[in-house]
Each structure stands twice: as structure tokens, then as C-alpha cells.
Amino acid sequence: MNKKRGKQTIVYATPPILAASAAIAGPMEGEGLLGGQFDRVLEDNLAGQDSWEKSESMMLEWTVRTAASRAGGTLQDIDCVLAGDLLNQLMSAHFAARGLGRPFLGLYGACSTMAESLLLGAVLIDGGYAAKVAAAVSSHHDAAERLYRFPTEQGVQRPPIAQWTVTGAGAVILAGEGNGPKITAATIGKIIDAGLKDPNAMGPAMTPAAADTLWQHLDDTGRTPDYYDIILTGDLGQVGKTLLLQLMQEKGVDIAANYEDCGLMIYREDQDPHAGASGCASSALVLCAHAFPLLVTGRLKRLLLIGTGSLHSPTSYQQKESIPAIAHAVAIET
Amino acid sequence: MNKKRGKQTIVYATPPILAASAAIAGPMEGEGLLGGQFDRVLEDNLAGQDSWEKSESMMLEWTVRTAASRAGGTLQDIDCVLAGDLLNQLMSAHFAARGLGRPFLGLYGACSTMAESLLLGAVLIDGGYAAKVAAAVSSHHDAAERLYRFPTEQGVQRPPIAQWTVTGAGAVILAGEGNGPKITAATIGKIIDAGLKDPNAMGPAMTPAAADTLWQHLDDTGRTPDYYDIILTGDLGQVGKTLLLQLMQEKGVDIAANYEDCGLMIYREDQDPHAGASGCASSALVLCAHAFPLLVTGRLKRLLLIGTGSLHSPTSYQQKESIPAIAHAVAIET
């Protein structure tokens, strides 16, 4: 046994297939760079629900239902839903899963949760424990803002280094059989704490974790960055992206040629998101709405998605703790 | 493939071994029914830390380190830590994992998290993705009280149906090789919402989920309740325990002969825990401090642990939502 295992990297013996995806976004995201690529754009952030949290939950449930139907089956064919979000007690995922009525595993990795759900979902498929699973996440700007920062009504001015939490949800159906891009490997990250304490500056706080996981992934697999058509981090933003290039350079790895951050692929600059997008839906929207079609049509052949999560809480911040961060990497190939 | 899979039940082809466990508890738990069985009892709930949250985190880290050392290796042999707790953004687990420095996957299933971490940890071992993993959870009465209910200083009177959140942490090391009790099967639960809305009455809210998962486990495996020496639910408490007996009776299944609830095994009645214990540590302390030694010495041969989780949040309660609940079952046999 353990032949599937590198130091921190799983190499799937029978790579699970990404059978379908679905993505839904808020109105601001709909007017952004990926506007035409979402399956559905909300008219407003409430979407007819009576709270932002319920709107987020509705989005998550909708993407799982839509992706499950696209994968050529019904919801009943989904053996397990693996999902999470940014809200306390995973409110969005739990109420979505209540509506879905399928076996459920709740995950919390902050904005790294899409990668965590993909890597664990792929384990369930590759290991023969499930035939079809859904990996899904959501985030909602207003719900996150009032939970992590200030009441939205307060209109607090945001510093330039802050990022804008994405309103949206994305789901992927993983299957053991069929055609499509495949998850070939995944690297489980360690928690890295660079000692930073400003919760507005999550990009720089997460970057050392992204660098650690990327370096480990390359070392475990013996690959060089050019193995991938594109290396995507989840939501490091403008400051984090620049810092990751530097950190990798210091480790002797140049990723400048094929590295992008999902946090810079959601909003147009004139939408003023400050340092970029953040939230579980940052990497989920780029994967589900943008990269998945490129992989299916062969325009993208090898993608490394590095989900990045800032694991602080308002309580840990109030208790003057620094910000622990994590990054998980998932290799998707056609 | 998929031969390892029942409808909702995984049957492990190479059952992972529970190589070691460790349990730490607060002072009130130390004076309770399992007092002599904990590895360590805190002198006070702060344990020298400067907040209850940090005390909880310290407990979680301590159990993983202690169990890893008992499993005959070092922390570096642990390929992955799967952990969670009740705090927002898993503050306890994340800060513990920061100290542990091992690859980490964060889980949230409220008080069902011990079962969730065991079942996913067993998947990683059985599937050959890891040689050794830690499954661990914690909860802390004071930290949970001020997060979910009222400031502890307020001294709010608790209704008789309320349960008392356990202060403690438990960790299990799962391994692919060695001797010890084994995880033979696991049933992944669905979210069940019985429409109850009183967050003080979590036992009754979780009981329909426990009944659903237990029934499904028996149906998937073709077993009857007497297959097990003992069936343990996580924290249904006095009211939930009585209700589960009734609900199973209505399904034509009599579990009276060998059913216990961990929530009634922690505190003495004269400690006045009202309807019993709750929290992630309820099932974790009973498993790690009490059942594990009985399994190792053969006094217990077949145990079904049904972790039960109430998935509401203070926000969902304020938004007048009912309480979604989940239960995951893990079969441990010698």
C-alpha cells in the first residue's frame, strides 16, 4: 500500500473524472471579466430570499442540482455531497444540503474549500467508495462582510490591500466513469502562519502557505512549473500574487510564465475591488465557469488549482492572534 | 469498483486500525463518571492559556501529540490530521494544527465531527492514500457557551432540556498496519430537519438524524442491533435517548438491550448537567478514554458509534430557521 502517496501528495490510481460543473454569480460578478461564462447571474444579492445567508445557500443548492443534472443523471445518483462555505457553522452548505437530501460531509478550509472538497471527493471516487460525488462551495459578499468585518450599513472604508468577497457558488460532479478532464493528483497543505495580523491583508497572509504547497507539489511529483499550462491560486489578490512570484523565485522556481490568481480574474479594474477578489467562490467560479469549458474543449490540458484559505476568525483576531493559512493543490488534466 | 459501497455505507476492504487514542478533559468532566479514565484533567478551564478558545486549542494539540507518540512513532509519521471543533472558523482545530505542522484537513459536522473524522481518516488509510492519520476533535463549555448562547458572566438560567457542552478533546491515530480494534464500516448521514427550532433542545432535534443513519446502517449491512455489543450515540442526552428508542421501535427495530448515549456517560447526575452532555468531546471522550481500552482488552468486541450533530448557527436561529441535524455511524470491531 501507500504507493499512491508522495510526501504530501496523492497520485490517483484511477483519476476521477470531472463530469460536469455549474456556476452561479451575483450581479457585480456578472458585470465582471467572466460575466458571459456563468450559468446564471442573480438580479440582486438577495435573489428573492429573505437574507443574504439564505441567498447564498440557494446558490449552492442550485449549482449542485444543475451540475448533477448535467452529469447525465439525477440528484439520487450523487453518493455524497462534500461542501463548505465561509459562514459560521457552514450555514450556507448545511441548509443547501438539507434541501438536497443526499449523504453529506461538511468541510471548512475557508477559501481553500473548493480544493479540499475536490481532493477528498476524488479520494472517495478513486478508492471505490462512491461512483459520483458533488464538490461544492459558496461565498456571499454581504453575508461575509457582516460576519467577518463590519455591518454593511456602516459603510466602512476599505483599505487598498483589502479584497472583495465574491458572491457566487460553484459545483463539480466527480465520477468514476465517463469522459472529461481528470483529477490526477492532489497535495494536502500544512497550516503556515507568517505572523501577519491584519485581517484586511489576507492575500499576503495566505501566500507563504501557497508557496509551501506549490513547492511540495512540485517536489513530490518531480514536475516543473511548465508541466502545467496554467497554475492558478485561489485568491491571493494583487499583493499576494506579486509576493508568490517572489517567494517561489527565492526557492529557485520561476512560475512567471504560467501563473495566474483567480482573485484577479473575476472583476474588472474599474469595478474597484481593491486588491482583487476573495472567498470560496473565487476559485470555484474560475474553475467551474471558465477553466472547466477550456479543459473539456482541450484548449487547456494541464491545470494546477491551488486553493488558498485564511483560517483566522474574528475571535482569534480580537485575541491578537496572527493569521494561520492553508493551501491545497489539485492537478486537473485532460 | 464501488464494491466497497453500500447505499450510504462504506465497508472498508482493509479495515484501518485504531493504533492509539488520547483524551483530555476539563475539571468538571474529571469529577464525572469517567474521571479516572482520562489521560489528563485540567486544573481549571483556562489551563494557563489567556482565553478559553486557546485552552481548547491546547487540549486538541495535546491529544494529537500524545496519541501519535503512543502509536509508536513521532508526529512526523502522521500523514494527515483530520480535525474540527464547534468554534467559528474551527479556531481550536486551526491553531492546534498550526502547532502540529502536519498536512491538515478541516471538518465541520458540529458534535458529529469525531465520527466524520474517523470515517474520512479510515478512507485515507484503507484506500492507501496515507499510512497513519490523526482524527481529533475538541469542545469547551465556556467557549461554546459564549459563542452559541449568552455571555457566561450573564449567568442565564438553563432550561431542563438543555445539555452541558463538554470541555475536552480526543484523538485517535488510525494506521494501515499493526494491532488493535479496526474500523470495519461507516455510514455517511443525510441532513434531517425535524422542524424543531429551540436551540436549547438539540437532543430531540438530532434524534431523527440518528434514527435515519442507524436504520440505514442496519439496512445497508444486513445487520441487526444485536450484532453490536453496544450502539453509542454522540450526545442525544436524556430526552433524545428516550426518543431514539421510540423512533427505532416505530421502524420495527428494538435497540433497548444495547443502546447508550455518550451524553449520559460523562457527568454524574448530582453534577446537574440537565439533559446530559453535548459537544464534539462528548463522543470523543467516551470513545478515546472509555471504549478504546475496552476494545483493546477485548471486553468490548463490536461497537457502533453514531456521531450526532446539530447544524444550526446563531444566525440561522435569529433568522427563524429550524435546526438541520446529521449523524454519521462508524463500526469498530476487534
pLDDT in tens, B6-56: 789 999 999 999 999 999 999 999 999 999 999 999 999 999 999 999 999
Question: Is there a contact between A60 and A85 (Cβ–Cβ < 8 Å)?
Answer: yes
Flag whether residue A14 sits within 8 Å of chain B, measured between CB atoms. Answer: yes
Flag whether residue B1 sits within 8 Å of chain A, measured between CB atoms. Answer: yes
Q: What's the pLDDT at A234?
A: 98
- The beta-carbon neighbor of A190 closest among B101, B107, B124 is B101
Cβ neighbours of B108 in A, within 8 Å: 84, 89-90, 106-108
Instruction: Encode pLDDT of A42-57 as tens digits.
Output: 999 999 999 999 999 9
**Residue B244: pLDDT above 90?**
yes
- Nearest CA to A108 among B80, B90, B169, B118? B90
- Nearest CA to B207 among B112, B285, B87, B83? B112
Provide the β-strand partners of residue B137: B84, B170
Average the pLDDT over B155-184 and give the result: 96
Report the percentage of chain B scoring pLDDT > 90: 96
Task: Mention the CATH class of domain A9-175.
Answer: alpha beta
Average the pLDDT over B233-240 and give the result: 97
Contacts of A100 (CB under 8 A, 6+ apart): A61, A64, A65, A75, A78, A81
Average the pLDDT over B98-115 and give the result: 98
Q: How confident is the model at residue A6 (pLDDT cuts 50, 70, 90)?
A: low
CATH topology of domain B182-333: Peroxisomal Thiolase; Chain A, domain 1 (3.40.47)
Q: What's the pLDDT at B1?
A: 33
Question: Is there a contact between A288 and A171 (Cβ–Cβ < 8 Å)?
Answer: yes
Q: How confident is the model at residue A2 (pLDDT cuts 50, 70, 90)?
A: very low
CA distance to partner chain B, nearest, from residue A245 (Å): 23
A-facing residues of B in 177-216 (CB < 8 A) are 188-191, 193
Output Rg (C-alpha) for chain A, integer angstroms: 18
Q: What's the pLDDT at A112?
A: 98
Average the pLDDT over A195-199 and give the result: 95
Domain A182-333 in the same topology as domain A9-175: yes
CATH topology of domain B16-175: Peroxisomal Thiolase; Chain A, domain 1 (3.40.47)
B-facing residues of A in 22-41 (CB < 8 A) are none
B311 vs B325: CA distance, rounded Å: 5
How is residue A163 written as a grid cell?
Answer: 479584497
CB count within 10 Å of CB A229 equals: 17
Flag whether residue B3 sits within 8 Å of chain A, measured between CB atoms. Answer: yes
Taking CB atoms and an 8 Å limit, are B1 and A312 in contact across chains?
Answer: no
**Residue B3: pLDDT above 50?**
no
Taking CB atoms and an 8 Å limit, are B108 and A102 in contact across chains?
Answer: no
Contacts of A223 (CB under 8 A, 6+ apart): A217
- Model's pTM, two decimal places? 0.98
**Cα A104–Cα A114–Cα B176 angle in degrees, nearest 5:** 65
Report the percentage of chain A scoring pLDDT > 70: 98
B255 vs A186: CA distance, rounded Å: 42
Report DSSP letters for A204-221, one per residue.
Answer: HHHHHHHHHHHHHHHHHH
Mean pLDDT of chain B: 96
- The beta-carbon neighbor of B188 closest among A105, A109, A191 is A105
Report the percentage of chain A scoring pLDDT > 90: 96
Q: What's the pLDDT at A3?
A: 43
Q: How confident is the model at residue A1 (pLDDT cuts 50, 70, 90)?
A: very low
- The beta-carbon neighbor of B315 closest among A5, A88, A130 is A88
Task: Report residue B154: phi and psi, to 5°.
Answer: -70, -25
- Nearest CA to B103 among B139, B78, B73, B71? B78
Taking CB atoms and an 8 Å limit, are A89 and B312 in contact across chains?
Answer: yes
β pairing state of B40-41 and B17-25: parallel
- Nearest CA to A311 among A321, A320, A324, A322? A324
Mean pLDDT of chain A: 96
For chain B, the distance separating the N- and C-terminal CA atoms, rounded to the nearest angstrom, is 27
Q: How confident is the model at residue B155 (pLDDT cuts 50, 70, 90)?
A: confident
Flag whether residue A316 sits within 8 Å of chain B, measured between CB atoms. Answer: yes
Taking CB atoms and an 8 Å limit, are A176 and B1 in contact across chains?
Answer: yes
Q: What's the pLDDT at A5?
A: 60
Q: How confident is the model at residue B193 (pLDDT cuts 50, 70, 90)?
A: very high
B-facing residues of A in 40-59 (CB < 8 A) are 50-51, 53-54
**Residue B117: pLDDT above 60?**
yes
Q: Who has greater pLDDT, A140 or B152?
A: A140
Report DSSP letters for B149-168, one per residue.
Answer: S--GGG-PPPPTT--EE--E
Q: What's the pLDDT at A155?
A: 86
Average the pLDDT over A117-122 and give the result: 98
Taking CB atoms and an 8 Å limit, are A101 and B191 in contact across chains?
Answer: yes
Q: What's the pLDDT at A14?
A: 96
Residue ranges of domains in chain A:
9-175, 182-333
Q: How confident is the model at residue A33 (pLDDT cuts 50, 70, 90)?
A: very high
